[in-house]
Amino acid sequence: MLVAMKPSLAALTLAAAFACCALPAQGQGGTALPAAPQPVPGSLLDRGASAARGAAPAAPAQRRLSSGSGFYVTVDGHLVTNHHVIDGCKRIARGDGAALVLLASDPNNDLALLHGPPVADAALLRAAPDARQGEDVLTYGFPLQGMLSSSGQLGAGMVSALAGLRDNPGQLQIDVPVQPGSSGGPLLDRRGQVVGVVVAKLNALRVAQMTGDIPQNINFAIKLAPLKALLDAHGVRYATGRADARTLSNLEVADTARAFTTPVFCQR
């Protein structure tokens, strides 16, 4: 079961699972999994589900503001995030409070294209090939706003698999640690070029309730093909990186990503 990472700034909670991405009904050896596992009492991951079952709802002020991450693909102000980060928002803003406008979204691939004021730096998208299994990758984003550093966080790991949950062909599985608020941030290669968009993490507590085992570092990113398709469909002229560009250190990747990545705030 996947968790869409869209935390309230006040409560720092996770959204409930993506409806499209439930675990298979059968476990190994054909053993049926519980149809409706009970939430872990007090779990941040299950507060949304508890409210849906009749628990006391959160105060309005705790539900109205949420955040994710986004990154610029043009210096003219086009930026990308996840659809679930901006879905239902009355107002969208970047980290400095400047207003952002929703231009287009792709709910099936959980992508959204926004536009705001021009910027000095934009990301380079990798031209080819796609990310490979075992390839080193990094993330940059703004998780747990109000609790962790507001200047952005770098994560490092590798591509674990070339498909998402239940063999979703539009996603990559990564072992880079991600947290609520990381959604919409860039997945980067060692040249600092974008190879995907961070989208979700496996709900470890819910899976443990079903299987008796706690999965570790199972996270997901959207591949480049759906991202490029969205940009191409709306005439966004993004830049691509060179295949022979030099490999960057973690310090250099952080400096590069920090320049084109921003928090994305949503008011509902």
Set 8, 83, 105, 110: catalytic member: 110
Active site residue 183: yes
Question: Which of 194, 142, 155, 124 has its CA nearest to residue 12?
Answer: 142
Give yes or no: 234 in active site: no
The dihedral formed by the CA atoms of 196, 197, 203 and 207, expressed in degrees to the nearest 10: -30
84 is catalytic: yes
Q: Which residue of the set 46, 84, 182, 189 is catalytic?
A: 84
Q: Residue 64 burial by CB count (10 A; 0-12/13-18/19+): exposed, middle or buried? A: middle
CA triple 219-159-182, angle to 5 deg: 40
C-alpha span between 213 and 217 (Å, rounded): 13
The three-state secondary structure class of 64 is: coil
Known catalytic residues? 84, 110, 183
